[in-house]
Structure 1
Amino acid sequence: MEDAKDAAAAQGQRGRAFPTGLLRVFLGFLLLGVGLSAGGMYLARRAVAAPTLFQPCLWKTAAAAEAEVEEPGDEGLERWTRPPARASHAMTDEELLWRASFAPRARGYPFRRVPKVAFMFLAHGPLPLAQLWERFFRGNEGRYSIYLHTMPAYRANFSSDSVFYQRQIPSKVVEWGQMSMCDAERRLLANALLDISNEWFVLVSESCIPLFDFNSTYQYFQNSNQSFVMSIDDPGRDGRGRYNPNMSPEVELEQWRKGWQWFEVDRELAIAIIKDTIYYPKFKEFCRPGCYPDEHYFHTMLTIEAPHKLANRTATWVDWSRAGPNSAHPAMFGRGDITKEFLKEVREGETCLYNNQNTTMCYLFARKFAPSALEPLLELAPTVLGFG
């Protein structure tokens, strides 16, 4: 019986010991949880106080991911001087203008820089005279850049061996006679400024043709001490008659200028145009039909800011003689108009000043030419225009 009592006592002690062990295990897990919670709170505070070291991939946009892909040599100056591979990008107009306004402050370039001419095509859609331009550019790679602004719905379909391949920039709707025309021109300038080698910026249309070979055109811009922006003080109805007194004090009546839309500017003036926040709001609000911003905005602003840099003439020829006194558009030339004598007259028919010297080489481009003019232009280009 004593043995039975001892066995029963021992069994009771083992029954009471079991819950105590379980409690110890439970307390261990509890302490571990409290430790993890405290550690989490500490890391959370650190995340607020310091920059995050890791970010989920889902937070990155495609543009950001592409920007992080570096190429060989990106650790040096090349990453800042290499032009964009394509004209397309995902920047808004506001971002584009801000980015394009960057300009070096130090004189000179600490790398080999070949100055280029940026040809900015402002077009509705297709370029019917592209074949002529292809011949003009041939053999001059590295001395030019091309930018194409069209209506947004148009998708250029140039082959990979064309100079126009992938040169279409992000575009918006342009309405004739509206400030959107100047917006498109500023958009073209801003895209061209992203290439630090672009030194001269020429605005042309799909109906423009080159009148001289590329080398002559290049040297004309390179050796000129002024830019070719027509800026005149017209006292008549279509000049000062379009001035709105609400533009004062930024623009006074005696500062109001008029000129043709098609221009050439150097890099300094191009930057002045795209970074302008003084004159642009005034023209956008107060230059409305029948005030046409593309005939007044750049011309007035540049005359106020840099009058000594303007030749006060355009480098693009047009003919208003056929249009009539009240026409809004110059004459159009087709197949039947294209002769050797006609082209020679356009190239040499006037006298103007170039670096304060008289010259008959006043125009480097001409408009407006219909698609039907392409064939005879291609035939005469080698002997009359000097290329092809």
Structure 2
Amino acid sequence: MSDYLNLRRGFLSANPGSGCYTSSSSIDSLKFAREWLWGGFPVKHNVSDPELLWLASLAPLRQGPPVKKIRKVAFLFMTRGPLPLAPLWEMFFRGNEGRYSIYIHALPGFAMDLPKTSVFYGRHIPSQDTQWGEITMCDAERRLVANALLDHSNHRFVLLSESCAPLHNFTTFYRYVIKSQHSFVGVFDDPGPFGRGRYSTNMLPEVKLEQWRKGSQWFEMERKLALHLVADNKYYPKFRDFCRPACYVDEHYIPTMLSIEFGSALANRSLTAVDWSRGGAHPAMFGRDDVTPEFLDRLRRAGDCSYNGRTVGTCLFFARKFSPNALEPLLRLLRDQISSI
């Protein structure tokens, strides 16, 4: 029986008249609940997806926990296999313990060979197979967010892939998102065949044509929006059933749903640089020879943007897609930029 079911059984065994719990299993469940609230839900569990989404969607009505905790950023890595840029990320996270948490969604059964000293050790969540362009991609995203929501210290949530690299140090990124008044979800209205052209009238009445949006899969969002994402059962069935290739659901579901429900809370931009200039169904892949000081400087200084109502020059914090052989030049050229110690 899953931890969730043990918890629920303990709650249901309460004596409503006296407010007392009478069984040893309920005492264990209360202990588990206390550890969950203040220590985080275990990464390895056997909770099913429906149970997980329900449990993650729970939110307290009372503001402020009784125990003050540092707000953390949850880094959600979606990968099919290994993390070839892990040494770069180890450098990025070093010295910032207590201000981040990591969750990895890989292919089911994939075992990553990592030392216990690695920040990625033991951070794989229960996963399911995902297919590019299909609803399983959104399922994996929601599964990652849901697991991260079960740690009540996680305040911001950023989605990354195994080909992503950081462009600034952790402290700069942490301050940027923790103090942000918006969530960084790419959202735009594309009137062409690859935007509104993918809309189906079957989306009615939940989504009208003029509400249909497109955007980057690589989001960063605050806890309120993350809660809404895992709790959603209004828009998700429509996208599951009626946005199928050549409608690519991971490009439309989150941008459309969040823009309808929380449009004013979105910055309408991603924090992850992606190069689509080479055309095709996938963005450009950068290898060893592409990673030069000039190339990285262009990414880090890609132009001005709006942040909390003012114009700033720091807009992008991550970039993709980097091949495994790009690790050495990335380590050499970004060492001073991403190291916090």
Query: TM-score when scaled to structure 2?
Result: 0.90
Number of the residue aligned with 1:279: 235
**Structure 1, residues 275-320: CA drift from partner, whole Å, max 9, x if none?**
0010001001100111011000011000111111000000000111
The change in CA–CA distance for 1:69 and 1:371 in structure 2 (over 3 A counts) is farther
Give the aligned residue type for 2:295. Answer: F
SS in 1 for 2:142: helix
SS in 2 for 1:155: coil
Q: Which of 219, 233, 236 pairs up with 2:175?
A: 219
Number of the residue aligned with 1:39: none
CA distance in 2, matches of 1:87, 1:75: 14
The change in CA–CA distance for 1:373 and 1:312 in structure 2 (over 3 A counts) is same
Give the aligned residue type for 1:108. Answer: G
Give the aligned residue type for 2:298. Answer: E
Equivalent residues in 2 for 1:348-387 (5 A)?
Answer: 348-387=301-340
Mapped pair 1:333 → 2:286: yes
Give the aligned residue type for 2:137. Answer: M
Number of the residue aligned with 1:139: 95
Q: In the alignment, is the contact (CA less than 8 A) between 1:120 and 1:188 conserved in 2? A: yes
SS in 2 for 1:366: strand
Q: CA deviation at 1:113?
A: 1.3
Q: CA deviation at 1:384?
A: 4.0
Q: Which of 117, 136, 141 pairs up with 1:180?
A: 136
Give the aligned residue type for 1:190. Answer: A
Aligned residues: 323
Equivalent residues in 2 for 1:137-176 (5 A)?
Answer: 137-176=93-132
Highest RCO, 1 vs 2 (Cα 8 Å, sep ≥ 6)? 2
The change in CA–CA distance for 1:175 and 1:62 in structure 2 (over 3 A counts) is closer
Number of the residue aligned with 1:202: 158
CA distance in 1, matches of 2:37, 2:325: 44
Give the aligned residue type for 2:149. Answer: L
**Structure 1, residues 203-250: CA drift from partner, whole Å, max 9, x if none?**
000000011000000001011100000111111111111000011110
Give the aligned residue type for 1:333. Answer: F
Number of the residue aligned with 1:5: none
Equivalent residues in 2 for 1:4-15 (5 A)?
Answer: none
Number of the residue aligned with 2:37: 80
Q: Which of 223, 226, 250 pairs up with 2:206?
A: 250
**Structure 1, residues 86-119: CA drift from partner, whole Å, max 9, x if none?**
4110011011001101101011222111100000
Name the structure with the higher helix share. Answer: 1
Mapped pair 1:269 → 2:225: yes
Task: Indicate the percent of aligned positions where both proteins have the same amino acid.
Answer: 54
Mapped pair 1:309 → 2:262: no
Number of the residue aligned with 1:6: none
Q: CA deviation at 1:339?
A: 1.5
CA distance in 1, matches of 2:230, 2:175: 26
Q: CA deviation at 1:76?
A: 9.5
Give the aligned residue type for 2:165. Answer: I
Q: CA deviation at 1:386?
A: 4.6
Q: CA deviation at 1:269?
A: 0.2
Q: CA deviation at 1:157?
A: 2.1
Q: CA deviation at 1:382?
A: 2.4
CA distance in 1, matches of 2:328, 2:87: 10
Could you say what the CA RMSD is over the residues aligned between the two structures, in angstroms?
A: 2.0
Q: CA deviation at 1:385?
A: 3.9
Mapped pair 1:260 → 2:216: yes
CA distance in 1, matches of 2:32, 2:86: 39
The change in CA–CA distance for 1:81 and 1:383 in structure 2 (over 3 A counts) is closer
Q: Which of 234, 245, 259 pairs up with 1:289?
A: 245
Q: CA deviation at 1:63?
A: 4.7
CA distance in 2, matches of 1:294, 1:174: 12
Gaps of 5+ in 1: 1-60
Q: Which of 217, 242, 255 pairs up with 1:299?
A: 255
Larger Rg: 1
Number of the residue aligned with 1:55: none
CA distance in 2, matches of 1:277, 1:290: 23
Give the aligned residue type for 2:71. Answer: P
**Structure 1, residues 139-183: CA drift from partner, whole Å, max 9, x if none?**
101000000001113112211111111100000010000000000
SS in 2 for 1:306: helix
